[in-house]
Amino acid sequence: MKYLLVQPSTRITGAVEVPGDKSISHRAIMLGAVATGTTRVRGFLPGEDCLATLAAVEAMGVRVQRRAATEVAIEGVGLRGLQRPAHDLDMGNSGTAMRLFAGLLAGQAFDCTLVGDASLSKRPMERVAQPLRRMGAGIETDNGRPPLRIRGGAPLRGIDCTLPVASAQVKSALLLAGLYASGETTVHEPAVTRDHTERMLAVFGQPVRREGLSVALAPAGRLQGTDVEVPGDLSSATFLILAAALAREGSLTIGNVGLNPTRTGILEIFRLMGMDLAVEPADVPPGAEPVGRITVRPSQLRGTVIPAALVPLAIDEFPAVFVAAALAEGETVVSGAAELRHKESDRIAVMAAGLRALGIGVSETPDGARIQGGPLAGGEVDSVGDHRIAMAFAVGASRAHAAVRILDTANVATSFPGFAALVGQIGMRVEERGGGDGDARG
């Protein structure tokens, strides 16, 4: 099994970029596949999650050219041009791939089955299957979990749907199914979630109306292939930002990173915790994803009550928030974050267990935790195959009093290929060790 061995470090410095945004990369491939004409994607994330999406569209007859690791050209087959795959579509570790494809494939003429690894096979899928059934889709889960069996040929109709949980994946699945529906599809969210699907549909010529917490799509019948520039992933940048803030010296700049306001909750949380953070937005054409540059300096962090309103805008960043809290002065309170229990792992329980193993006081609540800042000891933590937990502990371990071994880390490659090498460039001391596929638990 793969593991990371992390030694403490004091100086984090440099100017780097991080790999492409995972959410945007998935969407570019999916929309490019069902568009008319060619879509060129630059800055594509060659992580395992997005490669699963790429392999799935290829299995449905879409021609894909990899011009470089981060450059992909997709020959779109049109909304009705996908073909029945010869085998089950393997989504690997990726909840985004499975839930978005559920929507996209509900409207096709053929049957197919979506499967995933051990972690994905435990994640809730009725949240997407139920509203798709209301649209007329034939879709079955296995007691609420993958595999997803989709029966093709069902005519879809637009619905007006109020989501019980804030989920960009469910919203996106319904909008993608809405491309194939008769009439308009409207989704009401309980809180704003990432809007990459809405933005990208507009770029492909399919506008989506937003009013407050509601989005509506009236199918235009066609998507037009286009060029997509994928910015660096702010969720990946978060680990480097935290590392630079926790360092004793240095200064780190991260360029070309996505600054979509539905994703920047983490920057607000870090500021509330006292982080010395400068954000310079770049000029981008209208409709494009916001990008810019972030500079971070060593900062004394303080414990904070995290406003629940920021949770959906920073949903993937809580492993890093837990580590920031552990190394802050005083207590940090996380609440309104029950969704964390349904991610690649139960991120509340796994973060609490790992921090306790390193000597930090943490009490769990059903929807969050109270974390007492304190010195972090060396030792061993289990990331249970969750990429973001592994990377968050790698950052925390850089400020521990002795080496930390982080177990079950092969899945770092799902979202941040080259993590150990890149953080090495800025001064962290992270060694990848161990072998096998390391993915026993996914």
Residues that bind ligand S3P (CB under 6 A): 23, 96, 167-169, 172, 194, 315-316, 339
38 sits in the region (left: phi over 0; alpha: psi -120 to 50; else beta) called: beta
Of residues 184 and 339, the one with the C-beta less far from ligand S3P? 339
Detail the DSSP E strand segments found in 353-424: 361-365, 368-372, 379-382, 404-407
Of residues 124 and 418, the one with the C-beta less far from ligand S3P? 124
| CA atoms 394, 397, 398, 403: torsion sign | negative
Of residues 342 and 429, the one with the C-beta less far from ligand S3P? 342
Of residues 90 and 317, the one with the C-beta less far from ligand S3P? 317
- CB 274, CB 233: distance < 8 Å: no
Q: Which of 49, 195, 316, 386 is catalytic?
A: 316
Closest separation between CB of residue 155 and ligand S3P, Å? 26
How far CA 214 is from CA of 160, 175, 178, 397, 417, in Å, comes to 10, 12, 14, 42, 35
Of residues 23 and 256, the one with the C-beta less far from ligand S3P? 23
Q: Which of 429, 428, 433, 430 is nearest to 407 (CA)?
A: 433
Closest separation between CB of residue 328 and ligand S3P, Å? 24
- Please report the DSSP string for 225-269 in residue order: --EEEPPB-HHHHHHHHHHHHHSSB--EEEEEEE--TTTTHHHHH
In the bound complex, which residue of the shown chain has the CB atom lying closest to ligand S3P?
23
Q: Give the separation between CA 167 and CA 187, rounded to whole angstroms.
A: 11
Of residues 233 and 408, the one with the C-beta less far from ligand S3P? 233
178: number of CA atoms within 13 Å, CB side? 29
Closest separation between CB of residue 68 and ligand S3P, Å? 23
Tokens read off for 371: 């974390």
- CB 73, CB 38: distance < 8 Å: yes
Annotated active-site residue 316? The verdict is: yes
341: number of CA atoms within 13 Å, CB side? 12
Q: Which of 313, 221, 299, 301 is nearest to 259 (CA)?
A: 313
Closest separation between CB of residue 313 and ligand S3P, Å? 11
Closest separation between CB of residue 415 and ligand S3P, Å? 8
- CB 432, CB 390: distance < 8 Å: no
Closest separation between CB of residue 166 and ligand S3P, Å? 7
Closest separation between CB of residue 247 and ligand S3P, Å? 27
Cβ partners under 8 Å of residue 131, min gap 6:
159, 161, 163, 170, 173, 174
Q: Give the separation between CA 188 and CA 258, rounded to whole angstroms.
A: 25
Report the run of H or E that residue 97 belongs to, with start and end.
helix 95-106
Closest separation between CB of residue 47 and ligand S3P, Å? 12
Per-residue burial over 346-367, b = 16 or more CB atoms within 10 Å of its CB, e = otherwise:
bbbebbbbbbeebebebebeeb
Tokens read off for 77: 């087959």
Active site residues: 316
